[in-house]
Structure 1
Amino acid sequence: MQIVNLMTSDPIVINPDDTLANAKAVMDDGRFRRLPVVEDGRLVGILTERDIREHMGYLGSTRVNAAMRTGLITVTPYNTVEDAARLMLKHKIGGLPIVADNGKLVGIVTTTDLLRAFLLVVAGASQIMNG
């Protein structure tokens, strides 16, 4: 299964010049644990709950680009779900940005998405076995 069939398309993003306070509000409202950081449509970083926690007390005065991670691990829409799962396990991360050939962010896939796919596969296999 290609990741394009599982990813969240057009995810909510944050700008590198936004404050961490604004980023935290967006994350809290959407119940997200990570936010892609995008500038001019291109992925430039990712901000996680952990990154925000490290700057508590300074969220209003700290910019996203001071806390975001830039050594990004990404996949393309043509990678498989298995590729994404292997990368997430190998690097111990909970989400992967999906980036097109031109560097534009097109989606995100998280551990929750992979668990949903796993349950679909298990349910399908169970129907075949019991069917």
Structure 2
Amino acid sequence: MLVRDIMTRHPLSVQPDTSIHDAFLVMQENQIRHLPIMQDGKLLGMVSNRDIRWVVSAFVTPDVKALQEQTIERLMVRPVLTVDEDQPIEEAARIMRTHKVGSLMVLNDEDQVVGIVTGIDLLDAIINLTGVHQPSSRLEVELKSEPGELARVSQLMANLGINIVSVLTSQTDDQHQRFLFRIQTMNVRAAAHKLREAGFQVVYPQ
């Protein structure tokens, strides 16, 4: 799955001379947390809801005029972190985790802004990849890190007439890996029992 598959295209943006007041209203009315600052198609900066949170309290004071006079350019963060639209989503996740940011602007091969990807977009992608949104059950198995082990599990599932929706894996040590399956059956304990009979170490369900 690539960044372009999960990004929001044509993200809302404002000009650098937009007032803090108006930028805040754009974010509130459209329920967005990240607002790019652009001018003549060029990306200048980014503002998040956290960046302007400290000024929100001013809206309950008589001095709203001050917020209307100050421009968003004073608050924007620059340079803006970006990712190419053809990068895999895990690269976007790595950049966001490394820099502890909640969004990235997405560029095409001509360095033009084509979208924005957020942490919520990545969470939605994980849900999609794991198949949690489909009728299925969770099955976790620890396998030896040897060729053919995963194929043996897949063959056993096929023999039982059970379709595997998704597979995630993590390394537990040099000799073993954990495999998290989503399988299309509501009788997951029966499948786990068959795996144990075949000599596999089933972690979940017990």
- TM above 0.5: yes
> What is the rounded CA distance, in whole Å, between the counterparts of 1:44 and 1:4 in structure 2?
21
Distance apart, 1:82 and its partner CA: 0.4
> What is the rounded CA distance, in whole Å, between the counterparts of 1:70 and 1:41 in structure 2?
16
Distance apart, 1:129 and its partner CA: 4.4
Q: 1:14 to 1:42 in 2, by over 3 A?
A: same
Match of 2:75 in 1: 67
> What is the rounded CA distance, in whole Å, between the counterparts of 1:93 and 1:100 in structure 2?
21
Question: 1 or 2, which has the higher helix percentage?
Answer: 1
Residue-pair matches, total: 130
> What is the rounded CA distance, in whole Å, between the counterparts of 1:36 and 1:129 in structure 2?
38
> What is the rounded CA distance, in whole Å, between the counterparts of 1:62 and 1:102 in structure 2?
33
SS of corresponding position for 2:50: helix
> What is the rounded CA distance, in whole Å, between the counterparts of 1:108 and 1:125 in structure 2?
27
Q: What are the equivalent positions in structure 2 for 1:40-119 lying under 5 Å apart?
A: 40-56=40-56, 57=58, 58-119=66-127
- Amino acid paired to 2:119: T
**Equivalent pair of 1:9/1:106 in contact (CA under 8 Å):** yes
> What is the rounded CA distance, in whole Å, between the counterparts of 1:115 and 1:77 in structure 2?
18
- Using CA pairs below 8 Å that are at least 6 residues apart, which structure has the higher relative contact order? 1
Distance apart, 1:100 and its partner CA: 2.5
Residues 66-102 of structure 1, C-alpha deviations (whole Å, 9 max, x = no match): 1100122100111110000011111111111102343
Task: Tell me which moved more, 48-57 or 5-14.
Answer: 48-57
> What is the rounded CA distance, in whole Å, between the counterparts of 2:117 and 2:101 in structure 1?
11
- Amino acid paired to 1:25: L
- Amino acid paired to 1:49: N
Gapped regions of structure 2 (runs ≥ 5): 59-65, 132-164, 168-180, 185-206
Task: Tell me which moved more, 95-104 or 20-29.
Answer: 95-104
Question: 1 or 2, which has the higher strand percentage?
Answer: 2
Distance apart, 1:51 and its partner CA: 1.7
Match of 1:22 in 2: 22
Q: 1:45 to 1:69 in 2, by over 3 A?
A: same
Q: 1:101 to 1:59 in 2, by over 3 A?
A: farther
Match of 1:130 in 2: 183
**TM-score (structure 1 length as normaliser):** 0.91
Task: Tell me which moved more, 103-112 or 51-60.
Answer: 51-60
Q: 1:52 to 1:129 in 2, by over 3 A?
A: closer
**Equivalent pair of 1:18/1:64 in contact (CA under 8 Å):** yes
- Amino acid paired to 1:90: T
Name the % identity. 33
Corresponding position: 1:36 with 2:77: no
**TM-score (structure 2 length as normaliser):** 0.59
**Equivalent pair of 2:130/2:182 in contact (CA under 8 Å):** no
Asked which structure has the greater CA Rg, the reply is 2
